[in-house]
Amino acid sequence: MKIVIIGGTGLIGSKLVAKLSERGHEAVAAAPKTGVNTLTGEGLADALAGASAVVDVSNSPSFESEAALEFFRTSTGNLLVAEAAAGVGHHVALSVVGTERLTGNGYFRAKVAQEKLIEGSSIPYSIVHATQFFEFVRGIADDATDGGVVRMAPVRFQPIAGDDVAETLAGVVLGAPLNGRVEVGGPDQVRMDTFFREALAAWDDPREVVTDPHARYFGSELEERSLVPGDDARLGRTRYSDWPGSK
């Protein structure tokens, strides 16, 4: 089966290309560096010719509200039109657990807009909501740092390895379209402040982690379950302590 991965040269996309190729499928990495640009439409028709499914793991280069909204509206709109013309039978999109709960953040509002476009199209679809990746936890700590202090809310946190996200996406795209959402998170749910206190200690990072119920997550104040999936979520296998980048 030919499967086109939009954003296929990035963190999750490259992992997904490898996993699908190992299973014997024709996995096409589509990105500007491979001559496919969903914002302009360049190379899109050729890339989608003969494709049974498309997985969109692309991301906005800017997290600024208007820029992110413009990216997802334009890119997703162009992609869905091209898929309909090519007869693609399954559109899979990677999104974020908690998107609908973090509407105070412009980036998450843009992701909601993207999902509405997908739901309103004629293409059978599946949307995968993933928790934050292990690969980005250092960036979360840096964003929450003020001086030598990292402020974290004592809310639930359930990050996941990028490899496990790619494995979930592979299973979803090879299955029947859900015409709905599935959530995936890491195997362990912990308190966010506790997680980062232990993580920074493992990194030999001298910054102090301070518990602050009003600490913001990329501009949004969090509630108890803002960042974690529901009880029926699929779970990754890799624990953060076993992940190579945890130390």
Q: CA–CA separation, 50 vs 26, rounded Å? A: 11
pLDDT in tens, the chain (247 residues): 999 999 999 999 999 999 999 999 999 999 999 999 999 999 999 999 999 999 999 999 988 889 999 999 999 999 999 999 999 999 999 999 988 888 778 899 999 999 999 999 999 999 999 999 999 999 999 999 999 999 999 999 999 999 999 999 999 999 999 999 999 999 999 999 999 999 999 999 999 999 999 999 888 889 999 999 999 999 999 999 999 999 8
pLDDT of residue 219: 81
Q: CA–CA separation, 53 vs 1, rounded Å? A: 8
Contact 79, 31 (CB under 8 A): no
Cβ neighbors of 158 (< 8 A, separation 6 or more) are 131, 185, 186, 188, 189, 190, 227, 228, 229
Q: CA–CA separation, 158 vs 192, rounded Å? A: 8
**Residue carrying structure tokens 């509407």:** 103
Report the amino acid identity of residue 155: V
pLDDT of residue 189: 96
Nearest residue to 158 via CA among 128, 135, 176, 184: 184
State the CB neighbour count (10 A cutoff) for residue 143.
13
| Token output for 180 | 């709905």
DSSP characters for 61-123?
Answer: S--SHHHHHHHHHHHHHHHHHHHHHHT--EEEEEEETTGGG-TTSHHHHHHHHHHHHHHTSSS
Q: CA–CA separation, 193 vs 12, rounded Å? A: 26
Instruction: Give me the residues paired with residue 55 across strands.
Output: 5, 92
Contact 134, 162 (CB under 8 A): yes
Nearest residue to 19 via CA among 172, 123, 245: 172
DSSP H or E stretch at residue 46: helix 44-48
User: Strands (DSSP E) along the chain, which ranges?
Assistant: 2-6, 26-30, 53-56, 90-96, 125-130, 145-146, 149-152, 156-157, 180-185, 190-191, 208-211, 216-217, 220-221, 234-235
